[in-house]
Structure 1
């Protein structure tokens, strides 16, 4: 009798696993083949997923207002497309899952275009340059990767920095004693300031903005240790070809009429945007 019960339990478990895998396959297939532009247009709102602590791309001021470079840029794009924008805070490590499941329509928050991500996500034309840099406190005298020997490094879960750290171990990982993952860079900076970690691998746009707004900005050291330069772009489902074309077209318009440069100057004081000459 017990053997029969075990066989039934095993059968049910297998059926559940098959159903789950089939469901995942269907969701992925739908994300890769379905063009949702008409659905979004009829809704009148596009839903953008973001980490609302990522300065200066998208973050909340003390009064709770959501501001940032990507907030301004997304609103400028969809104003021309006649759509409202709804920003939804998500777990950054789950961003691709949220996109695939249809919880959000876009990932637009200092999202780095990488070959690994291109396997599951479609990207718009790049609109901003970025680098992965090592931030430390000057008192620790960390200027190059080797200076992190036997020290603790902070990383954000799901970030491009985390991916590069693991994919290019010869640059930094081989020196580090231990790495610690954080849900936000804000929490990572708290530990850096309290010497619980001695280095932080982080996007240059975040690091430069955060440090510039700290009272003791001169106490930090920012080092470019050899990771390849990156481009920020908008992430979307592979099936959303119409949405991709429309975003690219408007980004090119904003670049041509100077709007993109104005937004970049507002948040960075320099123009780090990229060329849109190849966009029709």
Structure 2
């Protein structure tokens, strides 16, 4: 007695999981010819509980591309450090949150000073009207439009491109989650002379798995796997793995 969406996966003999093609440690990355990372572990846990192996489809070139693969039925699940957005909510179901990350900015000190003048930092940030670098096809485009409506968004193919743009002064700031932003200065403390970070305690990126709208039992099953998961990664635990 299996629900139709679960029976489909069992009968096909595998759980197809859409995942971004670009490695993003510590969430998902290739290591010694195999996939590793916290998102990979979670996807495999779902497959294990279903009693089938997981096949990762990494053909998606953008984060939104991962979501579209699920919406179109080319994958059973999507996971790639995916945040909930209103746009995605029109195509797929979100699982319960498996991790929360605060929003953050990586700021070019010189360019920021030029637009700030004598204004206090909080005021300038909340009314930010400079150029803001984001990853194309990611949740940060939507977050940027909503949270910084006066800013001029500049989309780049990868996070590395966004960071380079901030370093060179092509944009005033880069917008992403605290984990990625804090890593930049952690890896190269000398950059603190030209760059600074700002973390928001009142804005969070809630990470979820993406499930097709025709798969309600699978959604419920994934939520239960998340709830019963013994190992629940946190920002601090992930930062330690990146040392």
Q: Give the TM-score band, short-chain normalised.
A: 0.7 to 0.9
Confirm or deny: 8 A CA contact 1:54 1:185 kept in the other structure: no
Partner of 1:208: 182
User: 2:140 matched to 1:161?
Assistant: yes
* Inter-partner Cα distance in structure 1 for 2:235 and 2:180: 14
Structure 2: gaps of 5 or more residues: 114-120
Among 12, 18, 38, the alignment partner of 1:49 is: 18
Confirm or deny: 8 A CA contact 1:55 1:210 kept in the other structure: no
Tell me how far 1:184 sits from its aligned partner. 2.0
C-alpha spacing 1:72/1:138, structure 2 compared with 1 (3 Å): farther
Partner of 1:84: 53
C-alpha spacing 1:139/1:75, structure 2 compared with 1 (3 Å): farther
C-alpha spacing 1:237/1:159, structure 2 compared with 1 (3 Å): same
Counterparts of 1:110-125 in structure 2, within 5 Å, are 110-125=81-96
Question: What is the RMSD of the two structures over their aligned residues, measured on CA atoms?
Answer: 3.1
Tell me how far 1:221 sits from its aligned partner. 1.8
Q: Deviations over 1:103-160 (max 9, x none)?
A: 2221211111234432321111111111221112445556557269664321112322
C-alpha spacing 1:114/1:130, structure 2 compared with 1 (3 Å): same
User: 2:169 matched to 1:195?
Assistant: yes
C-alpha spacing 1:264/1:154, structure 2 compared with 1 (3 Å): closer
C-alpha spacing 1:133/1:145, structure 2 compared with 1 (3 Å): farther
Partner of 1:231: 206
* Inter-partner Cα distance in structure 2 for 1:64 and 1:210: 26
Tell me how far 1:216 sits from its aligned partner. 3.8
User: 2:219 matched to 1:244?
Assistant: yes
SS in 2 for 1:135: strand
User: 2:240 matched to 1:253?
Assistant: no
SS in 1 for 2:100: strand
SS in 2 for 1:236: strand
C-alpha spacing 1:119/1:103, structure 2 compared with 1 (3 Å): same
Structure 1: gaps of 5 or more residues: 1-33, 271-280
Normalised to the residue count of structure 2, the TM-score between the two structures is: 0.77
Partner of 2:118: none
Which 4+ stretches in 1 moved above 4 angstroms?
138-145, 147-150, 263-266
C-alpha spacing 1:44/1:215, structure 2 compared with 1 (3 Å): farther
